[in-house]
Structure 1
Amino acid sequence: RIAANPGIPREVVEGIGETLKRLADGEAIKAPPSPVPYRPSSTLPTAPLHQPFLDISRDFPNSEAIRGFEGESRVSLTYAQLDALSKYLSRGLPRPDKKGAGRGAGDPPIVAVMLPKGWRQVVGVLACLRSGCAYLPLDPSLPGPRISAILQASGARAALLESASSPAAEKKEEPSGEQQAHVAGVPIVAFSDYVAVGPARGGDGVEISGIISDISNGGDPADRPTDVLGDCGDLAYLIYTSGSTGMPKGVRCHHQGAMNTIEDLNSRFHTGPSDRVLGLSSLSFDLSVYDIFGLLGCGGTLILPKTPHPDPSHWIELLRKDEVTIWNTVPRLMEVLVTYLEERHEKLPDSLRLVYMSGDFIPLSLPSRIRALSNNSDLALVSMGGATEAAIWSNIYLIPTELEKGWGSIPYGVPMRNQTMYILDEDLRPCPPWKTGRVFIGGAGVALGYHADAKKTAEHFITHPSTGEKLFRPGDLGRVRPCGKIEILGREDHQVKVGGYRIELGEIEKTADNHDLVRECCAVVKDINGRPGIVAFVTLKSQPQEGESNDIRVSIWEIMSESLPKYMVPEAVEILSHIPLSANGKMDRKALLNVPLSPLPLPIRGSRSDGKVTEMTERETALAKTWAAILEVES
């Protein structure tokens, strides 16, 4: 055969013969596949996350970096101004030890950024990175116990707040006798000590004064610290996500992983100085990493809303007035905007050219609804997915006008540049097309692990025994279609995503267990008036007296609202005599999906002006049920 086909290399034929011989001996079946180590498909980034911003600030100082709000007034910052503000603020932040710079030499100091959503947050995170710190986004409106737990677990060296008199701040007497402002024992750096904001001179509006001119005009060289660039493999930010033990997990994300994702997306869709993104995501949600560093790293402009609360009328106003080109949110927020426009027979602005949707399942009908509202024939709808543990996004799918036949959901797509995604069986072998398996993410984006939690890191971050590649297991189930695209089928545990936030139902259950009367709790995601919502089903240690049930439901809900972030607080609490069990003795969550909800309201669904919830009379209950039947909704 070799003589007849001289183009076939001899080693190929010998290899085939050796394989056939091993198969005949039965050895190949037992042996694991040959190692195939991960190799980047293109050059990996070497610059830290904030380096492109510094370059743009030097080359195009007068370009607009941020357009946001200060109260009711618009605020605009150029790259030069943002550069000056963040550099000046970095004076007050910790600096890494000489031993703490570079890969493997130790973590940089961690600074909690506890500023309200807006331009201050951007100044804060840039100051952290420029001082050689990693930033920890922490919502100052979270319950006090949760803030304390995260700060203590993170080992934060400082907390950046608006001022030393912020609601979360406390006073602590130092050995010297001086009063030091702190939060949960962590020293506070007050933003207002470094950035002055006041009324504009000679007119309406706001002026960010003093600090910018001091630096841009020279100032004292001692007040102008040198930027710490560090290593691309260093910790860049620490984001805490929901955890099954009742304590959030701190995800350790490095510069190179985030930069790799950003560079891929920006080059893929030619993002540049003419682009503007509407930054709606919370700083503690990693979509904000792209909003900030993706746009500021290519000379674009970050448009920030007046309020963090969902307001589609405000969004469309900004989209039109500021000629926004990029939308980047969870699908639910885009759906809110689309519904708002449909009801008013209005359109999206022609400037919008990219719609990024990620973090949750995209309704099959949503892409066509978006396109129906746009006159821009070049509008691209992009589905992305991944995990916080894998640098924002790992996979991508450009949604076509019509989906391929046979798809019951928007495809998960294919891995992004320098990233990998596998569907593996229990033995970590690739599943053939159509076979359900576990999703594993590999490549440049995989995080450094969970902060100060070696056990959980070992459970979710593994080294493949054959390839040697570091992989992260997000807990998703999926399968590969014959076309090569990945389809996500759900979660392998009871961790869920609601509104784009990853939520561990066990954390909600453990919080409910803190109530004196609760025996056990089972939380599920249930359809509530056509959308997913969290419901907590509880059993009590003793039978409630007549008329007590609603007060107990409210008190359980109040404990959870005081301890959990708003997006984790159940929309309903239901008292049952027992939790149904499956055949293997575990809580039967599927059976709970069929349990009807009580018509009595919780505070979030109706309350008196004094905040106290009142019992409904029999007549009110009957009337509510009648209207619910007419409107075909749950009462």
Structure 2
Amino acid sequence: MTGLPELFDGVARRHPSRAAVVDETGSTTYAELRRLSEDTARDLRRRGAAPGHLVGVRLGRDARTVAAIIGVLRTGAGYVALDPSYPTDRITFMAADAGLGLIVGGSGPAGPPVVTGTAAPCPAALPDDLAYVAYTSGSTGRPKGCMITHRNVVAFLDETVPLFALTADDRWTVFHSLAFDASVWELWGALATGGTAVMVPERALRNPAVFARLLVDEGITVVSQVPSALQYLLPALARQQRWPTRLRYLCSVGEAVRLDLVAALHRIARGTVPTVVNMYGPTETTVFATAKEITTADLDAGVRSPIGRPLARAGVVVMGPDRQPVPPGQAGEIWVTGETVGAGYLNRPDLTTDRFVRWGDAPAYRTGDLGRQLPDGAFEHLGRIDHQLKVRGFRVEPGEVEEVLRRTGRVTDVAVCLGQVGPASFLTACVTTTTGSLDPDEIRSLREAAATALPAALCPDRYLVIDRLPRNAAGKTDRPALVELVRNRLAAAAAPLLAVPRR
């Protein structure tokens, strides 16, 4: 079977002098990237990297990161992206859970990737063609490592590339963290077609005005954005004098599509409006499982979050509690089937058995998402069944955040939800305390505990002290009631609301 290195090498042979990656230091051609990745692979093999191993990749947003990833894959090992912005505790957990004896790190802006450590046996049997393990938030406070194979990724690319009129002249932004699976689309969508992957620098990630200028200056044609980032990019585009006229595709990823933002894009666009595509799918099913071009007709159709139809090698079934399909129009759990369904969770056999199932002769994944089939055969996403949240494109299991805050001993109980104020969403920790209040030192302690154990996207934006958490008849936290309580308190601005600035 063709794997990702073979796919890349075929493109590199056809386009050796084309720019494969652009970063702050300049441009790297396909031939140069191939050589760098081969050098890294040789170093890794000397240290024992082989099929059945996982290798950590901890680099910056540059061509060396890409070379390191391809180099790991050349050895037959899979990679685990270690985002340098993650807290040390999180990286330590991931490295231990994945058995990372080898880690590829940077040697400075101009140096090649540097390999440290010695290959160690992985703690679990891995698929023969494992490409990467992507960690997502865990409901018990323990992140889950999703195992994705070369077969999954190649099938995904075979499905998605034909949906777009992509050419070697396309220039893609790699906006998302390499630890976030949307980056697989951004990076390999470019490398599989001979296009150019533009690594978005940190300052552009933090400043929408800088990112808006980058879209123009770099002649970007394909960009992916989570709606919570797009809502800040659009005003920046409207304010700047130049419009990104080469932009052809804007992919909405990571969260439920915001149709109001699509309407705003149509209002501010100068000239041709880029095609907006909503791409839906959990990490466990290899980046995306469905796609839907959002047209002006969709803006008034009354469908909250249209996710379209499954990709060519995927399928979607809406299931009832009895694990039988429900009729079109009826809500149920979305199951994704087909060749892009991943190989399960690393070191989590019980959870793998529960979520990775079979539908007929095909592998299937129970997403925990609520959806329904529309009269035209397409699908609508209706939210989460299990209260999982999406914040700035990152999956957040409230239980993981709650467990971290409980361990501080500063609170007697806590529940985390999204608080909505107009178009803005805030990850809000509703806490109860023995005193009924939190002083500045206690807030600081909670903030530091969250920042130590969690990625920035999982750290609460707000802390709200309440008398007690709402409960349902079963004695469990009443999540809908909690969301309503937070919405009212934020809107009224009359509660002891404490803002936690992001670092």
Q: TM-score normalized by structure 2?
A: 0.90
Could you tell me which of 61, 66, 77 is aligned with 1:133?
A: 77
Q: CA deviation digits over 1:506-563, x for unaligned, max 9?
A: 00000011112322211111114641111111222x326xx86343233222211221
CA gap 1:233/1:446 in 2 versus in 1, 3 angstroms: farther
| C-alpha distance in 2 between matches for 1:269 and 1:193 | 36
1:246 matched to 2:138: no
Secondary structure of 2:450's counterpart equals helix
Shift of 1:378: 6.7
Aligned residues of 1:422 and 1:439 also touching (Cα < 8 A): yes
Query: Of residues 455, 475, 490 in structure 2, which corresponds to 1:585?
Result: 475
Secondary structure, aligned partner of 1:243: coil
Between the aligned partners of 2:197 and 2:70, the Cα distance in structure 1 is 14
Partner of 1:295: 190
Secondary structure of 1:604's match?
Answer: coil
Going from structure 1 to structure 2, the CA distance change for 1:379 and 1:490 (only over 3 Å counts) comes to same
Instruction: Identify which of 21, 36, 40 aligns with 1:85.
Output: 36
Partner of 1:570, secondary structure, is coil
- Aligned-pair CA distance for 1:392: 0.8
Letter paired with 2:161? N
Amino acid at match of 1:543: T
Give 2:435's aligned residue.
543
Residue type of the alignment partner of 2:21: I
Aligned positions of 1:352-391 closer than 5 A: 352-377=247-272, 379-391=274-286
Q: 2:420 aligns with which of 527, 537, 541?
A: 527
Matched, 1:59 2:39: no
Pairs within 5 Å for 1:398-417: 398-403=293-298, 406-417=301-312
One-letter amino acid of the structure 1 residue matched with residue 343 of structure 2? L
Where do residues 457-472 of structure 1 align in structure 2 (5 Å cutoff)? 457-464=352-359, 467-472=360-365
Q: Which amino acid aligns with 2:70?
A: L
Task: Name the CA distance, whole Å, in 1 between partners of 2:420 and 2:284.
Answer: 29
Indicate yes or no: 2:199 matched with 1:328. no
Code of the residue aligned with 1:50 in structure 2: it is P
Asked if 2 retains the 8 angstrom alpha-carbon contact of 1:50 and 1:293, the reply is: no
Deviation at 1:388, TM superposition (A): 0.6
Task: Tell me, in whole angstroms, the C-alpha distance in 2 between the residues paired with 1:475 and 1:603.
Answer: 30
CA contact (8 A) 1:96 1:132 kept: no
Distance 1:553 1:578 in 2: 18
**Does the 8 Å contact 2:464/2:497 carry over to 1?**
no
Cα distance in 2, alignment partners of residues 130 and 285 from structure 1 = 21
Which position in structure 1 is the counterpart of 2:406?
513
Query: What is the CA distance between 1:406 and its match in structure 2?
Result: 4.3
Change (3 A) 1:602 1:399: closer
Contact 1:95 1:133 in 2 (8 A): no
Residue number among 448, 453, 467 corresponding to 1:558 in the alignment: 448
Structure 1 pair 93–605 and aligned structure 2 pair: CA distance change class (3 A): closer
**Residue of structure 2 in register with 1:493 after alignment:** 386
Equivalent residues of 1:349, 1:374 under 8 A apart: no
User: Structure 1's 132 and 345: CA in aligned 2 closer, same or farther, altered over 3 A?
Assistant: closer
Give 1:369 shift. Answer: 1.9
Q: Deviations over 1:117-158 (max 9, x none)?
A: 222211110111112221101112322221111111111231
- 1:591 Cα shift? 2.7
Q: In the TM superposition, what are the counterparts of 1:446-465 in structure 2 within 5 Å? A: 446-464=341-359
Instruction: Indicate how the Cα distance of structure 1 residues 404 and 520 shifts in structure 2: closer, same or farther if over 3 A, else same.
Output: closer
- Asked if residue 311 in structure 1 is aligned to residue 207 in structure 2, the reply is yes
Structure 2, unaligned runs of 5 or more: 116-125
Task: Structure 1: state its 5+ residue gaps.
Answer: 1-45, 102-107, 167-189, 195-230, 607-635
Q: Which stretches of structure 1, 4 residues or longer, exceed 6 Å deviation after superposition?
A: 95-98
Partner of 2:27: 76
Write the distance in 2 (CA, Å) between the matches of 1:274 and 1:232: 35
- Distance in 1 between residues matched to 2:240 and 2:248, nearest whole Å: 20
| Alignment match, 1:29 | none
Q: Report how far residue 95 of structure 1 moved.
A: 7.0
Q: Residues 537, 110 of structure 1: CA spacing in aligned structure 2 closer, same or farther, 3 A cutoff?
A: same
> Amino acid of the residue matched to residue 281 of structure 1?
H
Which has the greater radius of gyration?
1
Query: Which stretch shifts more, 347-356 or 412-421?
Result: 347-356
Quote how far apart the aligned CAs of 1:233 are. 6.4
Query: In structure 2, how many angstroms separate the alpha carbons of the residues matched to 1:432 and 1:151?
Result: 44
| Paired residues of 1:505 and 1:523 also in contact (CA < 8 A) | yes
Q: How far apart in 2 are the matches of 1:411 and 1:548?
A: 42
- SS of the aligned residue for 2:297 comes to coil
Give a deviation string over 1:88-138, Cα, whole Å, max 9, x none. 12222147989x75xxxxxx3111111122222111101111122211011
Q: Cα–Cα, structure 1 residues 97 and 573, in superposed 2: closer, same or farther, change >3 Å?
A: same
SS in 2 for 1:518: coil
Deviations 1:162-199 (A, max 9, x none): 25x99xxxxxxxxxxxxxxxxxxxxxxx95558xxxxx
Q: Does 1:604 pair with 2:497?
A: no
Separation (CA, whole Å) in 2 of partners of 1:278 and 1:267: 19
Aligned to 1:576: 466
Kept in 1, the 8 Å contact 2:290–2:310? The answer is yes
Instruction: Tell me how far apart the structure 1 counterparts of residues 80 and 207 of structure 2 sit (CA, whole Å).
Output: 27
- The alpha-carbon deviation at position 50 of structure 1 amounts to 2.5
- What is the rounded CA distance, in whole Å, between the counterparts of 1:569 and 1:140 in structure 2? 16
Q: Is the CA contact (8 Å cut-off) linking 1:395 and 1:413 kept in structure 2? A: yes
Counterpart amino acid of 1:584? A
State how far apart, in whole Å, the 2-side matches of 1:280 and 1:405 are.
30
Structure 1 residues 501 and 362: CA distance shift in structure 2, 3 A? same
* Whole-Å separation in 2 of the counterparts to 1:252 and 1:566: 23
TM-score by length of 1: 0.72
Tell me the distance in 2 between the aligned counterparts of 1:605 and 1:88.
39
Q: 3-state DSSP class of the match of 2:200?
A: coil
SS of equivalent residue, structure 2 residue 104: strand
Q: How many residues are matched?
A: 484
- C-alpha distance after superposition, 1:248-269 (max 9, x if no partner): 0000001121112222222221
Task: Report the Cα distance in structure 2 between the residues aligned to 1:59 and 1:273, rounded to whole angstroms.
Answer: 10
- Alpha-carbon shift at residue 400 of structure 1 (Å): 1.3
> For structure 1, which segment, 308-317 or 448-457, has the greater mean C-alpha deviation from structure 2 after superposition?
308-317
* 1:54-453 mapped onto 2 (5 Å cutoff): 54-70=9-25, 75-94=26-45, 108-163=52-107, 193=114, 234-307=129-202, 309-342=205-238, 344=239, 346=241, 348-377=243-272, 379-403=274-298, 406-453=301-348
What is residue 206 of structure 1 aligned with on the other side? none
Distance 2:39 2:146 in 1: 28
Give, in angstroms, the shift of residue 405 of structure 1.
Answer: 5.5
Partner amino acid, structure 2, of 1:53: F
Given that 1:326 and 1:354 are in contact with CA atoms closer than 8 Å, whether structure 2 keeps it comes out as yes
In the alignment, the residues of structure 1 paired with residue 183 and residue 301 of structure 2 have an alpha-carbon distance, to the nearest angstrom, of: 34
Cα 1:487/1:255, change in 2 over 3 Å: same
Q: 3-state SS of the aligned residue for 1:261? A: helix
Separation (CA, whole Å) in 1 of partners of 2:113 and 2:356: 40
319-328 or 453-462, larger mean C-alpha shift: 319-328
1:180 maps to what in 2? none
Letter in 1 for 2:134: I
**Mapped partners of 1:353, 1:132: distance in 2:** 35
* 2:122 equivalent in structure 1: none
